[in-house]
Each structure stands twice: as structure tokens, then as C-alpha cells.
Amino acid sequence: DIQMTQSPSSVSASVGDRVTITCRASQGISSWLAWYQQKPGKAPKLLIYAASSLQSGVPSRFSGSGSGTDFTLTISSLQPEDFATYYCQQANSFPVTFGPGTKVDIK
Amino acid sequence: EVQLVESGGGLVQPGGSLRLSCAASGFTFSSYWMHWVRQAPGKGLVWVSRINSDGSSTSYADSVKGRFTISRDNAKNTLYLQMNSLRAEDTAVYYCARGGTLYGDYDYWGQGTLVTVSS
């Protein structure tokens, strides 16, 4: 199975900060990467697909980049509603695997 | 509006069985692959199973293969997960999710249903 790692595991940030989360795959996955946001007690929400494509309805402050093994999710100006846990997911190889998550909380 | 609503979770003893359902609405259910993803308390997301649009092809995570069965009824717009021989480590919130783009993402998720395996 492809192993996904994320860094940092948690980050404390303030409203207005730029936040960058990194996701690394144990082998190349081309652009078969998605990012999800999950708030406590809620289902995950798709933010980014195909590594850099913004899902419909997702604010443009979210962006994704990367290909191969290294990917980033950037929140350009953190808003109060963005405090959540973020997961990356690869679908290049069976089975689909998720990263362990990055928790973004309030500084 | 796309909606996925899971049901059927609950408390079950080790070795027992449960059947989860996921009622879909707001889209042409029979055109989409569907998936189950679970999340143990305080843990991350783990893919469990998938089924293609007409139900002719299924896949499972190794951890549930031979114990869980995914199925669908396109006439009823409903996805199922039959879970047998349940173990404590199957305790989790189970989400159904719709297959999104060809890049393998999941574009809509249900609210989840909690399965607790305990004596």
C-alpha cells in the first residue's frame, strides 16, 4: 500500500495567517491526490482534487500544488471557519489511502 | 441537492453482524461508484470498500475482506454494507461517500453512522 505522511501533525495559527500543509506519498502518485477538511463531529469535505483543482464552492483562499510524491495545501489567509483537521488522500494505487491528518487550531 | 444519509449503526457484540444503509438523493445514483470509509474514534480516515455503478464489481480493504459485503439497490437509491464477524477494531464511524472525478476523490459524504463492537 502507498503510505501517506503529513506535516506538521498540528499547527497553531491566527486569523489572517498563511498556512501550508505538506503531504508526501511513499511512491509516485502523479496528480492523484485530494485534500479534505473535517470539523469535529462532521463528515469530511472535499477541497481539492487532482492535486490542484478547486472543488466547486470552496473558497479561493484554498489552493493545492505538487505532483509525484510531494504535495502542499495552502490556505492563503486563515479564516475562523478554517480551524479543522485536513487530510490528504491518494487514489493512484489500490487501495486508496489517507494521510494521518493535520490539525489547524487557534493560536 | 445531493444527500447521503447513513443508518443502521449501533452497539453489537464481538462476532455479531450489522447492516448499514446509505440512502442517496439529489443525483442519479445508478451513475456513480460508491464507497464506504470509516474512522475509529479519534483516528484518521480509512477506506473500507467500493462498488461500481451497476454493482457488478466490488473491492475491499484487507482488514474486512471475507467479513464485509458491499451492495447496492439502484431502484431504491440505496447502498449497503453487510458486516459480519465484527471485531472490536471495527468500532468506528462509517461514512458512505460518492465517487467524484476520475482522480479518485470523494465529492459527497454522508453524516456517518457509529458502529460500536463491544461486549
Q: A40 — phi, psi (to 5°)?
A: -55, 130
Hey, are the CB atoms on A43 and B45 less than 8 Å from each other?
Answer: no
pLDDT in tens, B33-58: 999 999 999 999 999 999 999 999 99
pLDDT in tens, A2-46: 999 999 999 999 999 999 999 999 999 999 999 999 999 999 999
Distance from CA of B14 to the nearest CA of A (A): 25
CA angle B87, B88, B93 (to 5 degrees): 100
Q: Does B112 touch chain A (CB under 8 A)?
A: yes
Average pLDDT over residues B90-103: 95
Q: Which amino acid is at A14?
A: S
Of B62, B100, B110, the CB nearest to A46: B100
Give CA B102 to chain center in angstroms. 20
Of B45, B61, B95, the CB nearest to A87: B45
